[in-house]
Structure 1
Amino acid sequence: MPASTLPRRLLLVAALCTGLAACDGISLERAPAVDYVLLDGAQAASSQWAGKVMLVNFWATSCATCVKEMPQIVATHEKFKARGFDTLAVAMSYDPPAFVARFAETRKLPFGVAIDNTGVVADRFGKVAMTPTTFLINKRGEIVKRYVGEPDFPALHKLIEQLIAEG
């Protein structure tokens, strides 16, 4: 094979692997270790995600796209929750806690909701500033995909299926 095509093929393989659940020889970035408090006051940590496929969604009540996509986040959670999938919605530090609590209650959000009062969780996930920003994490605690803006939900569901099927 000509030397000039080798780098292009490696780039293609790397690009394909970032969109797939896992590729031999390609290491994925580990999700950061974070501690957070849920709306009900319960202390939680990312260490509790071990063995689960996790969707971590950074959002704000003032974000129109976040509000628009939330029913699809809920539907995704409901579709996969019995199969080792969980969701965490992380409200941004600038979002008033009363607004977040009211939103979660009126929409009956069926998953954990945390308020990132100090911004530490957003910082650890790569200084998240844009909402919505969503991370999909595999059972080994590796970030498989980062979405800025609303995800393509059919493609997201396909990827979740792949990650759940992983041993």
Structure 2
Amino acid sequence: MSHSSVEPGVDSSQALQASRRRLFLWGAGAAAGLAGAGLAAWRLRVADAQADQPQALWDASFEGVGGETLQMASMRGRPLLLNFWATWCPPCVQELPLLNAFYGEHRAKGWQVLGLAIDQPANVQKFLQRMPLDFPVVLGGLGGAELSRGLGNDKGGLPFTVMFAADGSISKRKIGQLTEKDLESWFKSV
């Protein structure tokens, strides 16, 4: 009895064709995976911030959910995580508890977190009734979306988070959902 790598009833040319097909499909799958990763990296790429945008932020004021006005200049002088989000954005909603926990853990050390909602006021108010947050939330509207673009979010993706150092300069930025690892790294960098 002889043992062969070719299945009974399959000639060697069919086996070679099957092998080539598998190799081609593997190569095509790898190429598609690399293309997808490249597209994701391009979409999540943070552009350079416009030179005047950090100052424009500190000169701005936003309406809070309760109708009060928040002057951004009042937040200058301590590290700030500014998070652009919306109630209709699943990754935004998923990262809010993480941001809230970060704020609770680090506010005594001078850290600030501010949620800038790119959403309708009624939606934000309703959302915050279901999921209260300890950090302040303000309403960004179209001005908030433009500010986000000026800070390097040229595609307008959400969530978008910017960390400002105590001197008001941009320290870190990320388009997409933050992780605990991101926040640990950012905290240690200041």
Partner of 1:4: none
Matched to 1:105, the amino acid is: Q
Larger Rg: 1 or 2?
2
Cα distance between partner residues in 2 of 1:160 and 1:81: 12
Does the aligned pair in 2 maintain the 1:91–1:100 contact within 8 Å? yes
Does the aligned pair in 1 maintain the 2:84–2:148 contact within 8 Å? no
- Equivalent position to 1:121, from 144, 147, 156: 144
2:158 is paired with a residue whose SS is coil
- Equivalent position to 2:67, from 41, 54, 77: 41
For structure 2, the 5+ residue unaligned runs are 1-52
Matched to 2:70, the amino acid is: A
Partner of 1:135: 162
1:147 is paired with a residue whose SS is strand
Does the aligned pair in 2 maintain the 1:55–1:87 contact within 8 Å? yes
For structure 1, the 5+ residue unaligned runs are 1-28
Does the aligned pair in 2 maintain the 1:59–1:89 contact within 8 Å? yes
Cα distance between partner residues in 2 of 1:101 and 1:161: 33
Give per-residue Cα distances to partners, 1:10-63, cap 9 Å, x unaligned: xxxxxxxxxxxxxxxxxxx83533211111211112211222110111111110
TM-score by length of 2: 0.64
Partner of 2:4: none
1:110 aligns with 2:137: no
Q: CA deviation at 1:99?
A: 1.5
Matched to 1:157, the amino acid is: E
Identity of aligned residues (%): 27
Structure having the higher helix fraction is: 2
Partner of 1:7: none
Cα distance between partner residues in 2 of 1:121 and 1:145: 18
Give per-residue Cα distances to partners, 1:68-115, cap 9 Å, x unaligned: 1111111111111111111111111xx222221121222111111111
TM-score by length of 1: 0.72
Q: CA deviation at 1:132?
A: 0.3
Partner of 2:122: 98
